[in-house]
Amino acid sequence: MPKVLLVVGHPDLSRSKANKALVDAVRELAHVTVHDLYATYPDFRIDVDAEQALLAEHDVVVFQHPVFWYNTTPLFKQWQDSVLTLGWAFTMDGSASRLAGKKAVVAVTAGVPADHYTPEGSNQATIETLLSNWHATLRLCQFDIQPMVKLYGTAFGLSGEDLAAAAKQYNELLASFAA
């Protein structure tokens, strides 16, 4: 059965509403490993060997975080810089990386409603455009890139029903990788 690694980069998952609901929706899936970066590395001292071993052991990697200033959170960025290294996560000679062919999903939460993430909205760009660094990173690492999971309005306007529906869809997505 394919194994899923859910790498969570929320600064305080216990106080989160949306990210916590998504994680809680998949925590009991037997093939999913939930890896909370901020709980694991409160001092920001990342164990690169342990992180690379976790990535190597899994077939699907889900990168989940809230959008912070149109990017990922600080520890998640440090994790990318430390773990996704030349010769291991990517190569420059076209040879296969250790991550080649693994499925990757970026799952993000945004505080404002979806209409803010349009060319006409206040951000004047889609969330995919603003987070295009993820796509470039995953492509460089030779991941099989899956569609982005987006949950909007987490600080403004997301109802409890909408959050429950999003959590159910997240569970179904991660469960689908077991097949």
pLDDT in tens, 29-65: 999 999 999 999 999 999 999 999 999 999 999 999 9
Phi first, then psi, for residue 172 (nearest 5°) are -65, -40
Structurally, the chain folds into a number of domains equal to: 1
What is the tens place of the pLDDT at every residue in 63-96?
999 999 999 999 999 999 999 999 999 999 989 9
| Cross-strand partners of 17 | none
Alpha helices in 14-99 (DSSP H): 18-26, 37-40, 48-57, 74-83
> Lowest mean pLDDT: which of 118-122, 138-142, 156-160?
156-160
Q: According to the model, what pLDDT value does residue 32 have? A: 98
Computed over every residue of the chain, the mean pLDDT equals: 97
Confidence of residue 115 (pLDDT cuts 50, 70, 90): very high
Instruction: Describe the crossing of helices 74-83 and 48-57 by its angle, rounded to 10 degrees.
Output: 80
Alpha helices in 27-122 (DSSP H): 37-40, 48-57, 74-83
Token pair of 101, please? 């062919």
Q: According to the model, what pLDDT value does residue 120 have? A: 97
Q: According to the model, what pLDDT value does residue 17 have? A: 95
Q: According to the model, what pLDDT value does residue 79 have? A: 98
- In terms of residue numbers, what domain contains 142? 4-176
pLDDT average, residue stretch 152-163: 94
CATH number at residue 50: 3.40.50.360
Amino acid at 135: H
Q: Give yes or no for residue 179 having a pLDDT over 90.
A: no
Q: According to the model, what pLDDT value does residue 70 have? A: 94
